[in-house]
Amino acid sequence: MLKTNTKNLINWLGGITAVFLVTFLCFYQLFVDSQYQRLPLKQFFTLTTLTSAWQQLTRHDVLPPTVDNTDKTLTITVDCQPTCYFSVFDLTGTLIATVPAIKDTDASAILTDLEIKFFDPQHQLIGYQTVSIDHPTFYVINFVPDLLQTIQLNLSDITTFDFVDYYSATQQIKFHSVNHQTGITADYFYSAVKPELIKL
């Protein structure tokens, strides 16, 4: 009877050890350095590596890459006399596009005042908003120009949105919202090119 219990204990410990080793080897494959080489075991067992691993496993924020578009081949200026137009230049200073700051699907409806928020030369996108305090509106257009997005930034004076940043890698616009009745704040990602809203 003692031999049977000992044998069962050895089998049980062997099974647990085998499961642990297989799990560890699978998990270990996920850890690589900046050159996509597997981390040495000594580095793998450091507190920094294990803490980072735990954060990656437990946090699932929808965040775009921090390094965005690095294309600096184009620059942009805005002129609002009397209506607003964007002028796009290449590195030599040659004008390659003149884009009206439209505010409607009708290209003849052009703003007379605006604040440019982002310029994405890689995807040929321009983001800007009206200067109006009461009814600010955010627009995204391309060079055609096509009106891709119209976002009201003041919803009945109850909820307001403020532009935070633009991420070229995912073509997303980050806004911060405040509900002035409840005091609740939130962050959102709007797609610059299609109907898509993600609450963070």
- Weakest mean pLDDT among 36-50, 85-99, 157-171: 36-50
Q: Is the pLDDT of residue 119 over 70?
A: yes
| Mean per-residue pLDDT of the chain | 80
Please give the average per-residue pLDDT across 109-120, as a whole number. Answer: 94
Residue-level pLDDT at 27: 57
- C-alpha span between 188 and 200 (Å, rounded): 6
Q: Is the pLDDT of residue 99 over 90?
A: yes
- C-alpha span between 173 and 140 (Å, rounded): 10
- Is residue 156 very low, low, confident or very high in pLDDT (cuts 50, 70, 90)? confident
Residue-level pLDDT at 129: 96
- C-alpha span between 31 and 48 (Å, rounded): 12
0.75 surpassed by pTM: no
Please give the average per-residue pLDDT across 101-128, as a whole number. Answer: 91
Number of H-type helices and E-type strands within the chain: 3, 12
- Is residue 34 very low, low, confident or very high in pLDDT (cuts 50, 70, 90)? very low
Residue 115 phi, psi (nearest 5): -130, 115
Q: Are 166 and 159 in contact (CB under 8 A)?
A: no
- Is residue 65 very low, low, confident or very high in pLDDT (cuts 50, 70, 90)? low
Q: What is the percentage of the chain residues whose pLDDT exceeds 90?
A: 50
Cβ burial 47-86 (10 Å sphere, 16+ → b, else e): eeeeeeeeeeeeeeeeebeeebbeeeebebebeeeeebeb
User: Residues 55, 56, 57, 63: what is their CA dihedral angle, to the nearest 10 degrees?
Assistant: 110
Q: Is the pLDDT of residue 124 over 70?
A: yes
Residue 157: left if φ>0, alpha if ψ -120 to 50, beta else—which one? left
Q: Is the pLDDT of residue 71 over 70?
A: no
Residue-level pLDDT at 56: 54
Q: Is the pLDDT of residue 143 over 60?
A: yes
Residue-level pLDDT at 10: 72
Q: What is the percentage of the chain residues whose pLDDT exceeds 70?
A: 68
Residue-level pLDDT at 84: 96
